[in-house]
Amino acid sequence: MQNLPVKVLSRIFLITTLCIFFSIESHASSSKVSKTYPGGVMYHGEVNSSGIPHGKGTLTWVDGSHYTGDLVDGIMSGKGVFTWADGSYYTGDFAGGQMTGKGTLTWADGSIYAGDFVPGVSSAASSAKVHYSMGVDYASEGKFIQAREEFKVALKIDPKLIPSKFSLKVIEDAIAFNFRKEAVMHDFKGVAFGDKGMVDKSITEHTKAIEIDPKIAAPYNNRGNAYGNKGHYDRAISDFNKAIEIDPEYALAYTNRGNAYASKGHYDRAISDFTKATEIDPEYSEPYINRGFVYMVNLDEKTMACKDFKRACELGRCRDYTIARKGGHCR
């Protein structure tokens, strides 16, 4: 499996632009058209009274990508098939130009994801999170081989999905009998409860994992997160300390401890932990974002904050950099 070659979301703007050309150049009296439009995009199919693609039709882009299916006022909406230039294709529901609802995504290598696609979220991110959740469920049941495959699929779809990265490491250690099976199962049960907002049950499961096998770093980190969510920052820091003691290269634990320190107003310690996390894993965007917020909000060091937000954007997390720029805080 590979990353989604082109996101359907990016086609919305192109199709919307095409609508202008359709409305200007097509004849309102025609029920169907076959034309090539500026940029080399071709359309064949039904149009509305204004000459805009509407009904059944096919759009073909210059790179070979094409869509066949329902269109509403020039936008992919209804049932359809979108095929990318490399042969990957999606069959299913569309709304507002996005893969939304039920569908099947088939990559060029034959890998398949079938299920729900979430509006407002890139299809890649949406399907990656589905596979991650499936991995957590399998792991909590002791089905580690299946869990490993789901986490691998999630990372192939979205390499920046950090929970899958760290979960995969735990599962691989469990498969290699480095960790006790029951401990790993309880830890992932705790993760599942945490994802559902059931914090107390999450803490109980992580604690069981620690009691069964205290040499695993992940349950301490995960329980620390749960304590942090309850505002018990000292307990959280104690757990993060233990996780880091067990695994000194645990970038996620450094990031989480930094969050706890920042919540207590210990900004220098927070900066130190976020910095350590970026040194361990320079491609991990979260510590850059969190360090940026401490610089911007708590220390009034906008230059440093903007540098961090920009780096996070380079890693694919642009929301905070965009907001800071719109607010005039970053250039």
**Long-range contacts (CB closer than 8 Å, 24 or more residues apart) made by 177-183:** 179/213, 179/215, 179/216, 180/212, 180/213, 181/142, 181/144, 182/212, 182/213, 183/208, 183/209, 183/210, 183/212, 183/213, 183/216, 183/219
- Asked whether the beta carbons of 243 and 217 are under 8 A apart, the reply is yes
Task: Locate CATH 3.90.930 in the chain.
Answer: 9-120
Identify the three-state secondary structure at position 103.
strand
pLDDT (0 to 100) of residue 38:
55
What is the C-alpha separation between 64 and 248, in angstroms, rounded? 48
How distant, in Å, are the alpha carbons of 10, 113, 306 from that of 4? 12, 11, 30
Per-residue pLDDT of the chain (331 residues; tens, 9 = 90+): 233 333 333 333 333 334 334 433 433 444 788 877 655 678 899 988 877 788 999 988 777 888 999 998 778 889 999 988 778 888 999 887 777 888 887 876 666 666 666 654 455 556 677 788 889 999 999 999 999 999 998 898 888 888 899 999 999 999 999 999 999 999 999 999 998 889 999 999 999 999 999 999 999 999 999 999 999 999 999 999 999 999 999 999 999 999 999 999 999 999 999 999 999 999 999 999 999 999 999 999 999 999 999 999 998 888 888 888 888 899 8
Task: Locate CATH 1.25.40.10 in the chain.
Answer: 254-331
How distant, in Å, are the alpha carbons of 88, 137, 160, 255 from that of 217? 39, 20, 21, 14
pLDDT (0 to 100) of residue 22:
43
CA atoms within 13 A on the CB side of 304: 14
Q: Give me the CATH code for the 254-331 domain, please.
A: 1.25.40.10
How distant, in Å, are the alpha carbons of 127, 149, 154, 161, 219 from that of 139? 18, 11, 14, 17, 14
pLDDT (0 to 100) of residue 201:
97
Smallest CA-to-CA distance from 93 within 118, 113, 110 is with: 118
b/e for 46-78, b at 16 or more Cβ within 10 A? ebbeebbbbebbbbbbeeebbbbbbbbebbbbe
What is the C-alpha separation between 261 and 176, in angstroms, rounded? 35
Specify burial of residue 243 (Cβ count, 10 A radius: 0-12, 13-18, 19+).
buried
Contacts of 126 (CB under 8 A, 6+ apart): 116, 117, 118
Regarding pTM above 0.75, the answer is no
CATH of range 9-120; options 3.10.50, 3.30.1490, 3.90.930, 2.60.120: 3.90.930
pLDDT (0 to 100) of residue 252:
95
For residue 211 the two structure tokens come to 């009691």
Residues shown for the chain: 331
